[in-house]
A and B are shown apart, each in its own frame.
Chain A
């Protein structure tokens, strides 16, 4: 069985399309999206006197006609940002009222996930490829029912799914971050959730952990150190471990065959923790490149046969 695992695409349309195509391209049986699907930024495209104005990467563009507008929206969405058409008054109102920005963000996130689920139905229909999506700490809770209702996609979060005799346990929650995101838990509570999931697995050695947070001190969790004002220390050269101790301890205790992680985009790598292969494919979604892991599992022996980290 071949797994294709990607994570942290943060709203990038092009990465999602590549993810859906990866099954046939890399002959994968199962696609797993490790979470943090939703975008972090919203780019206003302002309608002014019959044309549109938008600033992308600090450069202002004036767009004439639908073709230019559509092309720019695609460019923005491929990068993982939400292009939003607004009037000057709407923009001024959003600038003055944070709740309006939050509401618009929420609407855009839900709309994009709905669109992605429809695209998945089109792309995966009749292929026999399973697609499992598990939201993570940067994703709002409202996207879970949309994924659950999608015909071509299975919701992973908080479940144990059978993959040809392997048990896939998914958990998008992470240990606390400086950003106070949606799905964060103290280490002890995180460990309790992991234990609950593992309790439903007859043989933990045939388990696959799909836990968004990487294990602490594994090199899969090396992130640039921040100071108290959320600025990089030493220009980003100073790296520190920010992973989860609960995840690390549970991997070492239960010894799953494979452990899939994301969360730390700079933490690309694969390491052995005890008998477990732990993988974080990293993320470079803003480049339009889908960082992913291809893992071949031997169903009879219950072990990892091969793996490869790719930039697709």
Chain B
């Protein structure tokens, strides 16, 4: 069989349900773009952490992170092309990771996790190694069961960990929206409250309620909101960039000092920020942005960048039938467009920040706030974070304009936050339909079809975790990067599934539009999947083992922080218990969950 070119009709369609004219590639881009959210995820955390690795190159770290995530996006777009409408990680992993690939996945997750948990529980060698062996055996056994590893990785990454994202979303809304508005309107009592633990908990509950309401609205209603938010957010960003471009550092310093003096009575805030950072030994980095040099710490920045840039595949699903290779390319273009446009905007932002804010000041103000917010320090130079859109707005000496900037930038949050619980409800529905969860978990109310029980299953843990986060119980707030790590573990399960797909599910792959794409004689989806697996595996190793040097914790979630490891143990342990209990209970009811993904012979 060979290939050639031909000009004539290649397909005839008749009138039938579900055949549509197509879908907009821009929609895929917009969804991806809002998921790797420059303002809520990037500015809030990743782009504020450069000071922690002074010899790293910010621009190179962004580019390298985007390259790594590009491989992941190719693997995801490939799986979408092979199994459109399948519903994401849970179904892909359940359908592909059975037998040997399932056992390998389960053994790796189980072995590493139990080894870490035993160590975090204070056990000395050789007990952690023994626990690791037990983990390998148990993990492999679960992985051998059809759907086992798929449930555990998807439940942790798409359900449980979103309970930790709820207070992170709350923190973002608090410091990027409510606190700046309270400061600008002179409501200092409100500002004090919002900055307190009670305030953080309060805003977390506000976020939980907001996203719950958005689930009630459904994506059909929310899609319109998202579209408006996208354009509004971009307009705000353009204004901010222009302001930063046309203003000098001296003008900014004057404006910053003036604003903080009038709002908080802090004189010389710009110099004080730098002085505080230096005096507290928080910041020892370069005083100017290194644009092109590849500093030795560059790789260490990448795990920070992933907090923001890891999600261009969020919500990526291809609907419709009679699809071809062009749809794979369209999905991929959407994801990569969202990823790389955001990366480019981030680079523009940090170049402008260095030019106008001053690189030393930008890092100093971020590190001052991060140390205070994550409870490594008791004092803060200023009562609010130097949120970039806010401090850029100081360049226009007009209170109304400054408030308008904060409100317009709120669109980045509103257009992004709605999917927080929507993703979880879909995962819970899928697990309920697979009888792993009780059928009631997928029940919806009559009129508005609100998934009440699924929401309860998300809300209860979200409120509990928000409490831990707000009041920083056992240093919980510092476990922020766990929220990314757990999702990365879920993603690595999928990239591994993509890697083995052409061999393990040969018919499925060969009959897909993806089969034509090869690199060096190897399937593109496997090459991309393998590279993404290596990339994510490396990032997980960096997070857990602190770059091989746990004595100098950088990410604060690795083996040097037993609370973090135990938290991971709770998450994966809960998923394991739910799955095992479901298998046992369903078997006693005469239901074999193993039958769900058993292929029926076709001959």
A: residues with CB less than 8 A from B are 10, 14, 17-18, 21-22, 25-26, 36, 40-44, 46, 53-55, 57-64, 68, 72, 75, 78-79, 81, 88, 91-92, 94-95, 101-102, 104-105, 137-138, 174, 177, 179-181, 217-219, 222, 224-226, 229-241, 263, 265-266, 268-272, 284, 286-290, 294, 296, 305-306, 308-312
A22 touches B511 (CB 8 A): no
B: residues with CB less than 8 A from A are 1-6, 8-24, 27-28, 30-31, 82-86, 95, 218-220, 222-223, 226-227, 315, 317-326, 334, 429, 433-435, 439, 442-444, 446-447, 449, 451, 507-508, 510-513, 516, 589-593, 595-603
The answer for the CA separation of A91 and B589 in the assembled complex, in Å, is 56
Contacts of A270 in B (CB 8 A): 433, 439, 442
A217 touches B223 (CB 8 A): no
B3 touches A310 (CB 8 A): no
A238 touches B219 (CB 8 A): yes
A288 touches B507 (CB 8 A): yes
The answer for the CA separation of A222 and B433 in the assembled complex, in Å, is 15
Shortest beta-carbon distance from A106 to chain B in Å: 9
The verdict on A239 contacting B86 (CB below 8 Å), with A78-B511, A309-B596 known, is: no
Shortest beta-carbon distance from A9 to chain B in Å: 12
B596 touches A75 (CB 8 A): no
| Residue of chain B at shortest CB distance from A26 | B595
Contacts of B435 in A (CB 8 A): 308-309
The answer for the CA separation of A274 and B600 in the assembled complex, in Å, is 33
B591 touches A306 (CB 8 A): yes
B27 touches A62 (CB 8 A): no
Contacts of A217 in B (CB 8 A): 444, 446-447, 449
Shortest beta-carbon distance from A18 to chain B in Å: 4
A309 touches B446 (CB 8 A): no
The answer for the CA separation of A232 and B24 in the assembled complex, in Å, is 7
The answer for the CA separation of A140 and B602 in the assembled complex, in Å, is 26
Shortest beta-carbon distance from A289 to chain B in Å: 8
A25 touches B11 (CB 8 A): no
A21 touches B601 (CB 8 A): yes
Shortest beta-carbon distance from A237 to chain B in Å: 5
9 pairs of A and B residues whose beta carbons are closest in the complex: A235-B27, A234-B223, A55-B10, A236-B319, A312-B600, A232-B23, A57-B513, A58-B324, A238-B220
The verdict on A75 contacting B511 (CB below 8 Å), with A22-B600, A236-B319 known, is: yes
| Residue of chain A at shortest CB distance from B430 | A268
B220 touches A225 (CB 8 A): yes
A68 touches B17 (CB 8 A): no
Q: Which of B22, B433, B444, B602 contacts A14 (CB 8 A)?
A: B602
B322 touches A288 (CB 8 A): no
Q: Which of B319, B325, B603 contacts A58 (CB 8 A)?
A: B325
Contacts of B451 in A (CB 8 A): 219
Shortest beta-carbon distance from B134 to chain A in Å: 31
| Residue of chain B at shortest CB distance from A252 | B446
The verdict on A231 contacting B24 (CB below 8 Å), with A18-B600, A22-B600 known, is: yes
The verdict on A236 contacting B320 (CB below 8 Å), with A62-B2, A181-B15, A308-B595 known, is: yes
The answer for the CA separation of A268 and B434 in the assembled complex, in Å, is 10
Contacts of A312 in B (CB 8 A): 598-600
A180 touches B600 (CB 8 A): no
5 cross-chain CB contacts under 8 A: A21-B600, A26-B600, A137-B17, A236-B317, A287-B86
B442 touches A219 (CB 8 A): yes
Contacts of A101 in B (CB 8 A): 12, 14
B325 touches A272 (CB 8 A): no
The answer for the CA separation of A137 and B223 in the assembled complex, in Å, is 30
Q: Which of A25, A44, A138 contacts B9 (CB 8 A)?
A: A44
Q: Which of A10, A17, A46, A238 contacts B6 (CB 8 A)?
A: A46
The answer for the CA separation of A46 and B12 in the assembled complex, in Å, is 13
The answer for the CA separation of A78 and B451 in the assembled complex, in Å, is 36
B590 touches A305 (CB 8 A): yes
| Residue of chain B at shortest CB distance from A266 | B85
B513 touches A287 (CB 8 A): no
The answer for the CA separation of A161 and B11 in the assembled complex, in Å, is 39
B320 touches A232 (CB 8 A): yes
The answer for the CA separation of A286 and B1 in the assembled complex, in Å, is 23
Q: Which of A14, A43, A104, A230 contacts B21 (CB 8 A)?
A: A230
Q: A59-B3, A81-B322 given. 13 additional CB < 8 A pairs?
A: A18-B601, A58-B10, A59-B513, A75-B510, A138-B16, A217-B444, A229-B21, A232-B319, A234-B227, A236-B318, A239-B218, A272-B439, A286-B84
Contacts of B446 in A (CB 8 A): 217
| Residue of chain A at shortest CB distance from B95 | A311
The answer for the CA separation of A312 and B95 in the assembled complex, in Å, is 10
The answer for the CA separation of A237 and B334 in the assembled complex, in Å, is 14
The answer for the CA separation of A172 and B446 in the assembled complex, in Å, is 25
